[in-house]
Amino acid sequence: MASLTIRQLDERLKKLLRLRAARSGRSVEDEVRTILRAAADEDGGEAAEPISPPASKSPRRPAIAPGVKRVLLIVGGGIAAYKSLDLIRRLKERGIAVRCILTKAAEHFVTPLSAGALVGEKVFTDLFDPAGEFDVGHIRLARETDLIVVAPATADLMAKMAGGHANDLATAVLLATDARILLAPAMNPRMWSNKATQRNLAQLVADGVALVGPNEGEMAESGERGTGRMAEPLEIAAAAEKLLSAGAERPLAGKRLLVTSGPTHEPIDPVRYIANRSSGKQGHAIAAAAAAAGADVTLVSGPVNLPDPAGVTVIKVETAREMLQAVERALPVDVAIFAAAVADWRVANEGSQKIKKKAGQATPDLTLTENPDILSTIAHRKSQRPRLVIGFAAETENVAANAKDKLARKGCDWILANDVSPQTGIMGGDSNTIQLVTAKGIEPWPPQTKQDVAAMLIARIAAEIARS
Ligand code: C5P
């Protein structure tokens, strides 16, 4: 059969073909095939194939090769939006296919034309664009991606996400997606540190959203400095790549985590001991959440009435000294979380036999001596110090101030401070109210179950590891 080359057609025909193809959203070759099929059909040709329905008018995404990762970039309205154009290039350099949504506010900073030229296809802007909705639509945008990157993530976008709003294309897609979300926040430092933003951030992290930045530095506003600068495109691209390769559900795959949990029992004699009211619920929930996130977890636990979490190596100990030994043996690890309520003191003159109560004799004197501080010992190690050392501060007064002081004294990176006064019911209970204390400041978390605290902490750790 003779072959037909479009290049050999006359100019007028070529122009007409190009116009038809553009109108129907087909390639010129496809347009020719469609015309030929239709002609054959009109002729009643028995061998003719059915004509495919006309394509919609919006340009289609070029086919993506199998195995190529897809990022949907949502650009929010902030001065940092110009950096997102560079981010598109950085993602594409890494072989990642990029689609782009601009919010209405973003269009004040970058145009659909410039973003579209870089992604190489139509940029999406409207939730109620009939052509767009028929062709791709917000549900397809939400599903046909491996990762959504929001850069810049403005305070407003974060608030809408935390509240589950869906009143424009960007927020509707964010609500409809199952894909992992990476936020690159960018805003004025006061907006960033505002309690409302921090509350929204805590909610988003609890929801499993990953973070890159914000960084510290000069703001667009002259003379302003602080935390709020969007991470650089290279940092965002690297964080995106890590998330894409780590897999959405297992952000801690390949990482080793150590968790201590429960109380310690310090013997007075072979049958009596000093203990505390720790149930181990929080530590065990953290070990379970870390294992669910793909980490290789060692849980060193004092005596508790809890089942061993699934998929976790559990080492059972009684005393603080045994706990320290087991912790040191478990090194090296990437992250160590010290949730155990270790007894501060043990009995120095521990009886080797049961101390007898004898009529008329004085009560025995128990001399106490200090136990090793496991958290501080590990945080101050010169070698094999975990990348992230996290402690708890169970306080009954001045919670935040004591925790800040403890952060410095113990040499750890984060402290999860909680009020364990009897009226809070935290000790032994099922819920917890945490304030996360880091070198950057204090972040109050909402009251929630110990499982939710664990999930929020693990998401936070995963985000920290992804950016370091
Ligand atoms: O000093 P304080 O007991 O309040 O510190 C609490 C934090 O230190 C918790 O993370 C706890 O697991 C850890 N710790 C420890 N070894 C000790 C005492 C506390 O690891 N001997």
Q: Quick: pLDDT tens for 101-125.
A: 999 999 999 999 999 999 998 899 9
Helix (H, G, I), strand (E, B) or coil at 218: strand
- Structural domains of the chain, with CATH: 70-246 (3.40.50.1950), 256-347+368-462 (3.40.50.10300)
**pLDDT over 90 (residue 31):** no
Which atom of ligand 1 is nearest to 260's Cα?
A: 12
The two tokens of residue 80 are: 């940092």
Q: Going along 178-305, which residue ranges are E strands?
A: 180-185, 210-211, 215-218, 225-229, 256-261, 266-267, 273-274, 296-301
Give the model's pLDDT for residue 247. Answer: 55
Among 374, 388, 457, residue to substitute to test ligand 1 (most atoms within 8 Å of Cβ): 374
**pLDDT over 70 (residue 171):** yes
Among 265, 373, 432, residue to substitute to test ligand 1 (most atoms within 8 Å of Cβ): 373
Better pLDDT: 203 or 222: 203
The two tokens of residue 413 are: 């990176």
* Residue 277, number of CB atoms within 10 A of its CB: 10
Strand partners, 390: 337, 414
Mean pLDDT value across the chain: 86
Residues in CB range of 80: below 8 A, 6 or more apart: 151, 152, 186, 229, 230
Helix (H, G, I), strand (E, B) or coil at 382: coil
Catalytic sites, residue numbers: 276
Which atom of ligand 1 is nearest to 391's Cα?
A: 10
- For ligand 1, whether the C-beta of 459 sits within 6 Å is no
Residues in CB range of 384: below 8 A, 6 or more apart: 331, 332
The two tokens of residue 466 are: 């992804």
Give the model's pLDDT for residue 50. Answer: 36
Decide: 181 and 174 in contact? Cβ < 8 Å: yes
Task: Indicate the pTM of the whole model.
Answer: 0.54
Q: Find the range with the poorest average confidence among 7-16, 148-157, 238-247.
A: 7-16
Instruction: Of 366, 287, 372, give the one whose Cα is nearest residue 333.
Output: 287
* Residue 29, number of CB atoms within 10 A of its CB: 12
**pLDDT over 70 (residue 385):** yes
Q: In angstroms, what is the span from residue 257 Cα to ligand 1's centroid?
A: 18
Reported as a pLDDT band with limits 50, 70 and 90, residue 401 is confident
